[in-house]
């Protein structure tokens, strides 16, 4: 799996813990956001939410691991975009249930709130459970599986119905939202806009550089 780790500024000091917890699992890890709290250029959850959504919508990654101080800000930011299903994950059982029931493509971590001794080990335990699932979105408990799988499919349809498409979104986002993302070190290479197949999205993104 191709996984992007994307940290905003307030909890960027925990970035190394996330990367360490993801390593050695055979996944391709892309450390796309901040690595140190307060470093320049700075990304808030407004920016990391957009970057996460871009990487998912352009199919540059399969899963995004983001977060912020409490996890709620990044969650609300990334959920503004189409094609995202994000869980707030604080412990191994959260991870297991979210993977099992919701089968999403994004997780938001609480990286300051509740993050003390062995917070790094908790991250390892979280990813152990998330990646131990045989199938994402199978459902739980068993008697609710069919209904839950149907809900996942409906949620995908709703997401398309309620959002503008990514070409439109890329065109209308305000400069202070999109410019810091497109100019962030490494993002151009990661997005690889020239290789974007959808000509409308490509044109739209190129116009914002």
Per CB under 8 A, residues contacting a copy of itself are 10, 44-46, 49-50, 69-70, 72-73, 75-77, 79-82, 85-88, 91-94, 96-98, 101-102, 104, 110, 112-119, 121-122, 125, 129, 140-141, 144, 147-148, 150-151, 154-155, 157-159, 161-164, 169, 172-174, 176-177
Closest by alpha carbon to 48, among 18, 70, 74, 28?
Answer: 74
Kindly state the DSSP code that residue 184 receives in the 8-state scheme.
S
Q: How far is the CB of 128 from a copy of itself (least distance, A)?
A: 9
What gap in Å lies between CA 77 and CA 28, rounded to an integer? 24
Q: Report which secondary-structure segment, H or E, holds 166.
A: helix 166-172
Q: Cβ 77 to a copy of itself, closest distance in Å?
A: 6
Indicate the residue among 66 and 87 with the shorter CB distance to a copy of itself.
87
Min dist. Cβ of residue 167 to a copy of itself (A): 12
Ramachandran sector of residue 40 (left: φ over 0; alpha: ψ -120 to 50; beta: rest): beta
5: β partners:
31, 65
Q: Could you tell me the two tokens for 182?
A: 């497109």
| Phi, psi for residue 25 in degrees, rounded to 5 | -110, 5
Could you tell me which of 28, 71, 27, 29 has the C-alpha nearest to residue 48?
Answer: 71
For residue 74, which of 104, 51, 46 has the smallest C-alpha distance? 46
Shortest CB 14 distance to a copy of itself, Å: 10
Nearer to a copy of itself, 161 or 195 (CB): 161
Min CB(101)–a copy of itself separation in Å: 6
Residue 116 CB, shortest distance to a copy of itself, in Å, is 4
Instruction: Give the nearer residue to a copy of itself in terms of CB position, either 5 or 57.
Output: 57
Asked if omega into 139 is within 30° of 0 (cis), the reply is no
The smaller minimum CB distance to a copy of itself, of residues 30 and 57, is found at 57
């Amino acid at each position: 799996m191709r996984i992007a780790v994307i940290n905003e500024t307030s909890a960027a000091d925990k970035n190394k813990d996330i990367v360490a917890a993801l390593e050695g699992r055979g996944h391709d890890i892309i450390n796309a956001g901040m690595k140190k709290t307060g470093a320049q250029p700075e990304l808030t959850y407004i920016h990391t939410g957009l970057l996460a959504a871009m990487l998912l919508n352009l199919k540059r990654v399969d899963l995004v691991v983001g977060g912020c101080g409490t996890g709620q800000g990044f969650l609300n930011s990334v959920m503004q975009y189409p094609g995202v299903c994000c869980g707030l994950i604080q412990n191994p059982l959260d991870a297991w249930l979210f993977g099992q029931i919701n089968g999403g493509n994004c997780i938001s971590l609480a990286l300051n709130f509740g993050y003390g001794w062995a917070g790094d080990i908790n991250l390892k335990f979280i990813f152990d459970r998330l990646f131990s699932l045989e199938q994402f979105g199978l459902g739980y408990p068993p008697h609710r599986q069919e209904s839950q799988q149907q809900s996942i499919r409906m949620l995908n349809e709703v997401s398309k119905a309620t959002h503008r498409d990514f070409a439109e979104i890329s065109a209308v986002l305000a400069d202070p939202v999109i410019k810091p993302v497109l100019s962030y070190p490494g993002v151009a290479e990661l997005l690889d806009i020239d290789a974007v197949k959808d000509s409308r999205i490509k044109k739209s993104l190129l116009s914002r550089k």
